Structures are given as structure tokens and as C-alpha cells.
């Protein structure tokens, strides 16, 4: 029981650090082997993921202007955090950093596995169909809304133009599921989460779940590889 208390208090410190100091990639290593090691601090690339209600998720992220080592480290940490989370995309605001960056690891519609980074992206999307989303094929989840998913209609085709962490131009045109990921991640940079876009029926369900799960208060996070996977991967 005592260990559990130490873990939770350590995580809160860790979260506060992530939210206020974008340049810090230190975190407290929890648990492990012998008792008494729980307060060891070492640099770690995996960042806590903040949850709906944290202000950084709900505001427009800032443009990147300096393509320096610090940016390269942040992007590398985002890829490691995404790997550990078993997700398909991660935007910087989700680790408490209000900058226009997202990374993705996912298969496209041709079955090709893609890993990539978009910085300062622009997204051009086809029209979102004015029909009801299919719960079997059009259900979305988000690492910042743990354990929940809801159907949402998205544009079928998008083009994303941006740069990578070295400032090199990156451009992508894609369809279907992969286009959905691009729209979801781009939305994060605008301060919009997929649950903010649900139609009336699903929005009602989300509001209930939001209250039940406490996804309306700032200061909450979970850490991939430390906390249980909220999506059961
Ligand atoms: Zn998300």
C-alpha cells in the first residue's frame, strides 16, 4: 500500500513537470526492483499523456520556429511514447506541449506500415459526408480520452503538407482509415478532440461517460508502459 502512494505522488510531480516545462524529459521511474528505488530520477523518453480537461488540449498549438536539437529530442520522445502507448498517432499537446507537431505509426489503406512526423502541417480534406457514422467501421478512440471510443464521420480523402524535424518538406495524400488518423491528429493542433465533433446522439453518450470518468478536470494523465493500457492492448 505504501508503495502505491509513492507511485501516485511521483506521477503527479511528473505530470506537472511535463505540463510546465516542455524541454524537460525527465521523469520519475516507478516501482521496479528493490524498495527504496522508487525516487530514482533518470531521463526517460516516454512522457505521460494528458487527459481531456487539461487546458493544453483545448487550445490552438503554436507554430514551430526553431528546428534545433531540442525539437529533434521532443519528436524522438513522441515516437517512443506512441510506441509504448500502442496508439496510431500522437500530437504534442497530448504530452503537455502546445506545439504544432504530430507523429503517426499506422498502416495505410494499401497495407503499408508508415511512421512519420508532421510539423506545422496544413490539412486539406474532402467534404465530410452528411450521413450517420457506422459504429462498425467509423469508430474512433483517443489516447487522451482513455478506454472510450465513439463513431464519427470523417472526410474520406486528405492531403497534408508540412515539414519534418529537420525542416524538410513532407506531403501526403491518403484515404480511408489513414485519412481519419490525419484528421484526428491535425484536430489536436487546433485544440479539438474527436469527442468535440460527435453528432447529437453520440455526444449525449460521451457527456455521460465524461462525467462518470472525470474527463473534465485538469491535472490528470496516464503513462504508457507504467499504467495499465486503457484500451486493453
Ligand atoms: Zn487523440
Active site residue 185: yes
Alpha-helical segments (H) within the chain: 2-20, 69-85, 176-190, 200-213
* Ion ligand 1: residues, Cβ under 5 Å: 142
Please check if 184 is assigned to a binding site. Answer: yes
- The per-residue pLDDT for range 58-83, each reduced to its tens digit, is 999 999 999 999 999 999 999 999 99
Residue 188 pLDDT:
98
Q: How far is the CA of 190 from the centre of ligand 1 (A)?
A: 12
SS3 call for 19 = helix
Identify the pLDDT of residue 233. Answer: 81
Per-domain residue ranges of the chain: 1-44, 47-216
Centre of ligand 1 to C-alpha 90, Å, is: 7
Ligand 1 centre to CA of 223 (Å) is 15
Give the fold, CATH level 3, of 47-216.
Peptide Deformylase (3.90.45)
pLDDT on residue 41: 61
94 sits in which H/E element: none
Distance (angstroms) between ligand 1 centre and the Cα of 166 equals 24
Task: Supply the DSSP symbol for 25.
Answer: -
Closest CA to 93 of 50, 151, 36: 50
Binding residue per annotation — 14? Answer: no
pLDDT at 40: 61
Among residues 80, 140, 165, 185, the one annotated as catalytic is: 185
Tell whether residue 188 is among the known ligand binding residues.
Answer: yes
Cell of 142: 483517443
Residues of the chain with pLDDT under 50: 1-37
Contacts of 232 (CB under 8 A, 6+ apart): none
Amino acid at each position: 500500500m505504501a508503495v502505491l502512494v509513492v507511485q501516485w505522488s511521483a506521477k503527479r510531480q511528473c505530470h506537472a513537470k511535463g505540463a510546465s516545462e516542455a524541454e524537460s524529459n525527465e521523469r520519475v521511474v516507478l516501482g521496479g526492483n528493490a524498495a527504496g528505488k522508487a525516487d530514482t530520477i533518470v531521463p526517460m523518453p516516454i512522457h505521460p499523456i494528458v487527459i481531456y480537461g487539461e487546458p493544453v488540449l483545448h487550445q490552438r498549438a503554436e507554430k514551430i520556429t526553431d528546428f534545433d536539437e531540442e525539437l529533434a529530442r521532443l519528436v524522438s520522445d513522441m515516437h517512443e511514447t506512441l510506441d509504448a502507448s500502442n496508439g496510431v498517432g500522437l500530437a504534442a499537446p497530448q504530452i503537455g506541449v502546445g506545439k504544432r507537431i504530430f507523429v503517426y505509426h499506422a498502416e495505410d489503406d494499401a497495407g503499408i506500415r508508415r511512421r512519420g512526423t508532421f510539423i506545422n502541417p496544413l490539412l486539406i480534406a474532402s467534404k465530410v459526408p452528411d450521413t450517420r457514422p457506422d459504429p462498425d467501421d467509423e469508430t474512433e478512440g483517443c489516447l487522451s480520452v482513455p478506454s472510450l471510443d465513439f463513431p464519427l464521420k470523417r472526410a474520406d480523402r486528405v492531403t497534408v503538407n508540412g515539414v519534418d524535424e529537420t525542416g524538410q518538406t513532407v506531403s501526403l495524400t491518403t484515404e480511408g482509415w489513414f485519412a481519419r488518423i490525419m484528421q484526428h491528429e491535425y484536430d489536436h493542433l487546433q485544440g479539438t478532440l474527436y469527442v468535440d465533433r460527435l453528432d447529437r446522439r453520440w455526444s449525449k453518450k460521451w457527456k455521460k461517460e465524461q462525467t462518470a470518468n472525470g474527463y473534465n478536470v485538469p491535472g490528470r494523465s496516464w503513462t504508457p508502459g507504467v499504467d495499465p493500457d486503457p484500451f486493453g492492448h
